Amino acid sequence: MAKPKNTLREINLEIGRPFVDQAMKRLTMELDQSRRMGCAVLKIIHGYGSSGTGGKIRTASRKHLTRLKEEGQITDFLPGEGFSIFEEATRRAFTRCAALRQDRDLDRCNHGVTFIVF
């Protein structure tokens, strides 16, 4: 049974400490599954990396999401560090998924997450 369009889904790409290629395969699979379920937003936890300059999974995920957005396969993606009520993209995402208003990372400047808007 498909979930309503307002659904926010969350996955953790860091579980099992995968290599980048494994995490990207999982991201692709989770994007497809979220679309099939009719989710409005998929929140991915990719971490920020132990170096403090941005981890490899984070960098690869956002590069991939940039391409998907350019190709029209996703509506938008919101980096966790910009997920704020003061950002226009966040407010637009609220109209697609009201559940985002209650997300624990709202206004927390979390570099280790990204929100994908379908």
The β-bridge relationship of strands 41-45 and 8-12 is parallel
Instruction: Give me the residue spans of the domains in the chain.
Output: 8-117
Amino acid 5: pLDDT: 62
In this model, does residue 8 exceed pLDDT 80?
yes
Q: What confidence score (pLDDT) does residue 98 get?
A: 94
Of 69, 52, 25, residue with least CA distance to 112? 52
The pTM for the full model equals 0.92
Residues 6+ apart with CB under 8 A from 98: 6
Mean pLDDT of 67-90: 98
Burial of 55 (0-12, 13-18, 19+ CB in 10 A): buried
- What pLDDT does 2 receive? 45
pLDDT given for residue 6 in this prediction: 79
- Range from 33-37, 52-56, 79-83, 100-104 carrying the lowest mean pLDDT: 52-56
Percent of the chain with pLDDT over 90: 88
Between these two residues, 80 and 48, which has the higher pLDDT value?
A: 80
Q: Does domain 8-117 have CATH number 3.60.10.10?
A: no
- Per-residue pLDDT of 28-74, as tens digits, reads 999 999 999 999 999 999 998 766 556 899 999 999 999 999 999 99
